[in-house]
């Protein structure tokens, strides 16, 4: 951080995460020039400034030298069995399969684990994909230590296109709404 900015990364309990470049948490900051709240919405300001720190909503890791790597937005992180899974990392790994044209990963409700990842996948024209092919593909990343085995989605939906916002970003709100209804 620049001078006069305090920055740390905390877990869901508010504890600092290990500076190992792997542990995931939310970036929180404080500085004299940051907004103190929202006009006519004091409850949102109180939520923004929990425990005296501005909660950015960015999920990140920090290494031993203080280098911060933003991994995801908190609203897009999937919390399963008390562990966080980055939807962006899963999307990146799934998209490394040659037959995948595009992919979106969201968390869906799960009675046992709280949430589980679910992937919407568009295959390249003329290519065949199914759940087993992608599970096998992701298992390779488990074996190399990139992800844990419980990060592999149990649900894959193969679609013609992935919903996008007006500016061309993946519309995860719409995806979550369509899979929960």
pTM, two decimals, is 0.71
One domain, residues 106 and 86: yes
- Measured distance CA(181)–CA(97) in Å, rounded: 29
Domain boundary among 74, 100, 119: 74
DSSP reduced 3-state for 65? coil
- pLDDT tens for each residue of 10-42: 988 889 999 998 888 899 999 998 888 788 888
Residue-level pLDDT at 17: 92
37, 48 Cβ separation under 8 angstroms: yes
- pLDDT tens for each residue of 74-90: 777 788 877 778 888 89
61, 17 Cβ separation under 8 angstroms: yes
Which H or E element spans position 174?
helix 172-180
CATH code: domain of residue 163: 3.30.300.30
One domain, residues 152 and 94: yes
One domain, residues 83 and 159: yes
CATH code: domain of residue 10: 2.30.38.10
Residue-level pLDDT at 157: 94
């Amino acid at each position: 951080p620049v001078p006069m900015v305090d920055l740390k990364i905390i877990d869901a309990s508010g504890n600092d995460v290990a500076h190992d470049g792997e542990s995931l948490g939310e970036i929180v900051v404080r500085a004299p020039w940051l907004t103190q709240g929202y006009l006519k919405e004091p409850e949102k300001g109180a939520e923004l400034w929990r425990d005296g720190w501005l909660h950015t909503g960015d999920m990140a890791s920090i290494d031993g030298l203080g280098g911060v790597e933003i991994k995801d937005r908190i609203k897009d992180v999937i919390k399963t069995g008390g562990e966080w899974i980055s939807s962006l990392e899963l999307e990146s790994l799934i998209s490394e399969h040659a037959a995948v044209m595009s992919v979106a990963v969201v968390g869906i409700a799960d009675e046992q684990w709280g949430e589980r990842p679910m992937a919407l996948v568009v295959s390249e024209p003329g290519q065949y994909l199914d759940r087993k092919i992608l599970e096998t593909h992701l298992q390779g990343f488990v074996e190399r230590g990139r992800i844990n085995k419980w990060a592999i989605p149990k649900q894959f939906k193969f679609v013609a296109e992935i919903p996008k916002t007006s500016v061309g970003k993946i519309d995860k709100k719409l995806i979550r709404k369509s899979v929960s209804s």
